[in-house]
Amino acid sequence: MSTFIRTDVTCVKFYQQFVLAGIGSVLHVFLRDVDKLKQTLSVLNGQKIYGIVPSKTDNKLIIFGGKQIEIVELDVEKDVFYCCFMPILCDDWVHSAVWKSSNIIAILTAHNVVETWNTEFQMQCSQNKSKENSILYCGLLVNLLDDVLVLSGTVFSEVLLRFPDEETFYSLKGHKGVIFSITCDFKRGIIITTSDDRSVRIWEVQSQIDKTFDTKVSWTNVENIPCLHELYGHGARVMRNCIISDYVVSVGEDSAICYWDINGKLLRKVTSHTNSCIWSLDAEDNYLVTGGGDSAVIIHPLSVITEYNKNCLSLNLNIISPKKLAFTAQRNIVIMTDCNELIFYNADSNTKTEFKLNHETTYKLLSVSSCKQLIAVVDMSGKFDVFIENCKENVINNIIDTKLDVGKIMSMHWAGNRHLVFCAELGRITILTADNKIDIFATFNLPKCKERWLTAVAINGDNLIAGDRCGNIHIYVKGEMGPIKTFKHIHGRYGPTSIKILNNTDFITTGRDGCIKYFSLTRYLYSRDLDYPWVERFVDNNNKYVCGFQERTFIVYDIVHNIKVLEVQCGGGHRSWDVIRYIQKSNEDFNEFISFIYIKESNINSHTFQLNKIMSRSIFTGTHSKEINCLGSHKYPLDSSITYFVSGGEDTTLRITSLNSANQLKEELIFRHLSSIRTVKLKELHDNSLLVVSAGGRAQICIRRILFKKIASSIHVSGEELVNHMIKGTDKERTESRKRGCETDFDPETRVMDLEILSSDNVKFLIFVGCSDGKIRTLEFNLHNNEINNVDYIEKGLCFLKMRLLELPARRMLICSTSHASLYIWDLPQLITDYEQHYLIHKSGVNCIATAIISDTDFLMATGGDDNAVLLNYMSVEECVVVKKEVWTSETSHCSQVTGVLIVDNLLVSASIDQRVTVFEWSLLDRLKCEFRSQVFSDVADIQGIQLLQSDKSSLTVCVFGKGIEVMLIQRPPPQSH
């Protein structure tokens, strides 16, 4: 029984006050107004839900997927959905369904057959086959007043129009790929199709006699259906489309949502679902809902189409040569010009006030305090002015006008609301406290670097945190001239763009390397990579919205929900700009707004956005956008009700997620690798922290420590990156080796396939790494100094797939499987080739290994392979030799590669690419016996493994992972009578 599922969202539907989503075979019911999951209902057996069709006369729904049909009804009094009967099994895949009456439905199957079914008796009434027996990739049934219109999207790039009991009367030709979706709006007389050729086509139904298109006669009088518009906006296959109001919406494999008007103009294009395919969509009233390959369900406001064109102004202020600008606390604007002027623009009254600046040099700096009431202006020679905004009168006053003697000023930054940090030539840092007078707070020296000035600063008590132009971050303490700690080359050659204090010990930095980095005062913790290269700063105080640039586009991104909030084509970040977030009352409600201003071609442009009109909201948390290759689980000892998953996959992300007893999934941390992640192993440390070792493509091994801290009733999860090790060296090191004439590496793309960790004291760790180049490498990691070193390696010339550490009372062994059906066993801690043992156990690659200790010398070893077989070996250690005593084999339990096995007590559990989880019961009385007990289907495609979460007397809780994650409760078989 499935208790939790995250996989492709293949169907979504607005229905009354609900949002319905088909995730695997389970119907998820959400309350649309509060974004809350209300109910989950298992509808189909082993088939994904691909269609939901509401009845217009009662509270019934047709739900179909694969070859199955189910009728689900809403109990209005209890406000819950229930299944009316067991799913109907059809002879073919179902592409479309429609209600003909309260108990009669029509379906269209994959071989262009229309069937009618009586849902009251679950029996077929009729079947109409078409002569065009083409396989359909999609289809649509449309109810007319007197018949049903059939639109069939064929593999031959055509859409065939017919009635169930007649032959095709029209064919829509033009696409150059298979048809993926068909929708229609007969009030407008249009048909929309999408295809494998990346296009969206709008077809016009033309008739001179009857343009209602709601009867069979009106369609027999159709004269022509030409293609009016051929639309290209997607970068990959277009999977679905829908028509809402005056718009056509299409989604595809490129994660893009394209909004078109009926005339074929692209109005807006946004990306969603973290670079995964968008499989499904529906629209109603003012909203669009989408389901993606990242397992997320997201609601988008349709007002995003028009809202970007509103409140976008070019402020005609007649200012000559504006150079720098910034928002004030009252959302007014201060502008500094090349004409030695500071201009205050009152946005409410649309007036401006000019202040003459008596500065000596043309190089001037403008900086605004955190509260945005204090504006500081300084030139290179030290001429210094401070203005304060009077919030009651909406004016600014000059409160400081002086000359500083701090040297030739290269940079100036506010650190909070009282401290100004100046950096002069030769790296002299001066911190001033600016109120109505100026006092020197502290002075420091910046270490030598190429461009010796600061890019970002923050003050925390007596500590100054400063970033320079070489990407370094320095920690200073008041009273000492030099830094007490330096983090070198953190944000590339441009340096950090912002530094923000979190608490007394931790801070965050952003930079133009696409990263947000987390620190304590003594050590670097971890980083989070975003999908755009220039990360500027956080817009709000809660560290939720971060802004930056992607080429010419300004972006605000929600890092909590992984959603792009807004984007503005402004020309890029190499101009003066500012952004502000605020709360304002609008239509009797308080709403969030973001205002953005920038200078372009000497004009000042302003954009204001009400976030609930443009911002999508996720009502169902997603996970990996691609296949999950590895997963580990952990329970924090102080709160065992929460299960933590550590997973890595083809999307190059390592994710730490938590699942509570209410099956609510929360994303805690995200880390990135250079390439796909193949393996992850966990090691619990003495302080209840967790050592996570992950590895994969580019022969990269990353070691991190995950820290858990209980605060009140919640648990705070944080991370620390300890090691990022490239087994074959970085690209730079390998390039230098080639230049020096060193030996050429003929396998540059070595992947780590699996690893195991051995430790006796939780300080020094031996890491055994199996690689695709046929080598098993031994690395040593020291937790005290975070150093990792290569110790030894063994080469066999075969790709190692899986590794398993077996610890018997008297000896430790490493079991390794290869892609050539073989198994190697070595004694540990050293890999001694004289004592290795080699076994041929499968007919091809061995994908998974599980062991169970029987006695001091005996153990069971289960394996699964590419030959679809599950093997259980009874092994015994006799002196220095491992002897295979008995073998049990099952070659019929699965019809595809076996990718996961578990031995739990007297049960053997296997999982396969065929989406089946099989339970066997083994015994060792007189001989090794293993018997089939049960089998269940998983909704997760391409299963890559299985993980045990919990075991008790009555059941097992396991997690299968692949194209998604599913937690399953497997009942233990009843005792067998002998």
pLDDT for position 828:
85
What does each C-alpha distance from 333 to 133, 372, 498, 598, 601 come to in angstroms? Answer: 68, 10, 21, 11, 18
Collapsing DSSP states into helix, strand and coil, what is residue 699? helix
Cis peptide before 829 (omega within 30 of 0): yes
Backbone angles phi, psi at 294, to 5 degrees: -90, 10
**Alpha carbon distance 521, 508 (integer Å):** 11
766 token code pair: 């031996």
Residues forming beta bridges with residue 900, ordered by sequence position: 911
In the predicted structure, residue 745 carries a pLDDT above the cut 90: no
Backbone angles phi, psi at 501, to 5 degrees: -80, 130
pLDDT for position 273:
93
Reduce the secondary structure of 796-828 to three states and give it as a string. Answer: CCCCEEEEEEEECCCCEEEEEEECCCEEEEEEC
Please name the residues in contact with 262: beta carbons below 8 A apart, sequence gap of 6 or more: 188, 190, 202, 246, 247, 248
Q: Which helix (H) or strand (E) holds 519?
A: strand 515-520
65 versus 437: the higher-pLDDT residue is 65
Collapsing DSSP states into helix, strand and coil, what is residue 494? helix
Collapsing DSSP states into helix, strand and coil, what is residue 377? strand
Mean of the per-residue pLDDT values of the chain: 92
Backbone angles phi, psi at 593, to 5 degrees: -130, 150
User: 437 with 478: CB under 8 angstroms?
Assistant: no
Q: What is this structure's pTM? A: 0.93
pLDDT for position 897:
97
User: Pairing between strand 333-337 and 341-346?
Assistant: antiparallel
**Quick one: average pLDDT of 554-574?**
92
B/e letters for 729-764, b = 16+ CB within 10 Å, e = fewer, are eeeeeeeeeeeeeeeeeeeeebbbbbbbbbeeeeee
Collapsing DSSP states into helix, strand and coil, what is residue 739? helix
Neighbours of 826 (CB within 10 A): 20
587 token code pair: 């239509």
Task: Number of helices (H) and strands (E) in the chain: give both, helices first.
Answer: 4, 84
pLDDT for position 834:
60
**Quick one: average pLDDT of 138-158?**
95
Amino acid at 694: S
pLDDT digit string, tens, across residues 322-355: 999 999 999 999 999 998 899 999 998 899 999 9
**Alpha carbon distance 571, 739 (integer Å):** 40
463 token code pair: 């500590």
Q: Does residue 456 lie within any of the structural domains?
A: yes
Reduce the secondary structure of 938-964 to three states and give it as a string. Answer: CCCEEEEEEEEEEECCCEEEEEEEEEE
Q: Which residue has the tokens 């006699």?
A: 209
pLDDT digit string, tens, across residues 495-505: 999 999 998 88
**Quick one: average pLDDT of 257-263?**
96
Q: Does residue 398 lie within any of the structural domains?
A: yes
Tally the C-alpha atoms within 13 A of residue 876's C-alpha that lie toward its C-beta.
4
Here the CATH number for the domain that contains residue 455 is 2.130.10.10
Q: Which residue has the tokens 């919205």?
A: 545
pLDDT for position 586:
81
Collapsing DSSP states into helix, strand and coil, what is residue 612? helix
Q: Does residue 445 lie within any of the structural domains?
A: yes
B/e letters for 248-275, b = 16+ CB within 10 Å, e = fewer, are bbbbbbbbbbbbbebeeeebbebebbbe
**Quick one: average pLDDT of 272-277?**
92
Task: Give the residue numbers spanning the domain of 526.
Answer: 320-537
Q: Which residue has the tokens 């679809």?
A: 868
Q: Which percentage of the chain shows pLDDT scores above 70?
A: 97
Residues forming beta bridges with residue 776, ordered by sequence position: 770, 794
pLDDT digit string, tens, across residues 902-940: 999 999 999 999 999 999 999 998 899 999 999 999 999
In the predicted structure, residue 183 carries a pLDDT above the cut 80: yes
In the predicted structure, residue 679 carries a pLDDT above the cut 60: yes
User: 898 with 910: CB under 8 angstroms?
Assistant: yes
**Alpha carbon distance 678, 754 (integer Å):** 7
98 token code pair: 């429609």
pLDDT digit string, tens, across residues 200-244: 999 999 988 778 888 999 998 899 999 999 999 999 999 999 999
Q: Does residue 189 lie within any of the structural domains?
A: no
**Alpha carbon distance 15, 22 (integer Å):** 13
**Alpha carbon distance 618, 386 (integer Å):** 44
Radius of gyration of the chain (CA): 33
Provide the residue count of the chain: 978
Q: Does residue 598 lie within any of the structural domains?
A: no
pLDDT digit string, tens, across residues 868-898: 999 999 999 987 788 999 999 999 999 999 9
Number of domains in the chain: 1
**Alpha carbon distance 696, 307 (integer Å):** 44
pLDDT for position 747:
58
Collapsing DSSP states into helix, strand and coil, what is residue 55? coil
Reduce the secondary structure of 86-127 to three states and give it as a string. Answer: CCEECCCCEEEEEECCCCEEEEEECCCEEEEEECCCCEEEEE
Residue 356, judged by CB atoms within 10 A of its CB (0-12, 13-18, 19+), counts as exposed
Q: Does residue 513 lie within any of the structural domains?
A: yes
Please name the residues in contact with 269: beta carbons below 8 A apart, sequence gap of 6 or more: 233, 256, 257, 258, 259
In the predicted structure, residue 977 carries a pLDDT above the cut 70: no
User: Pairing between strand 287-292 and 179-185?
Assistant: unpaired
CA dihedral 496, 502, 507, 513 (to 10 degrees): -40
Q: Which residue has the tokens 């349709």?
A: 302
Q: Does residue 482 lie within any of the structural domains?
A: yes
Q: Does residue 700 lie within any of the structural domains?
A: no
pLDDT for position 151:
97
User: 815 with 803: CB under 8 angstroms?
Assistant: yes
Please name the residues in contact with 147: beta carbons below 8 A apart, sequence gap of 6 or more: 163, 164, 215, 216
The DSSP annotation for 203-247 comes to EE-B-SS-----SHHHHHT--B--EEEEEE--SS-EEEEEEETTE
Residue 179, judged by CB atoms within 10 A of its CB (0-12, 13-18, 19+), counts as buried
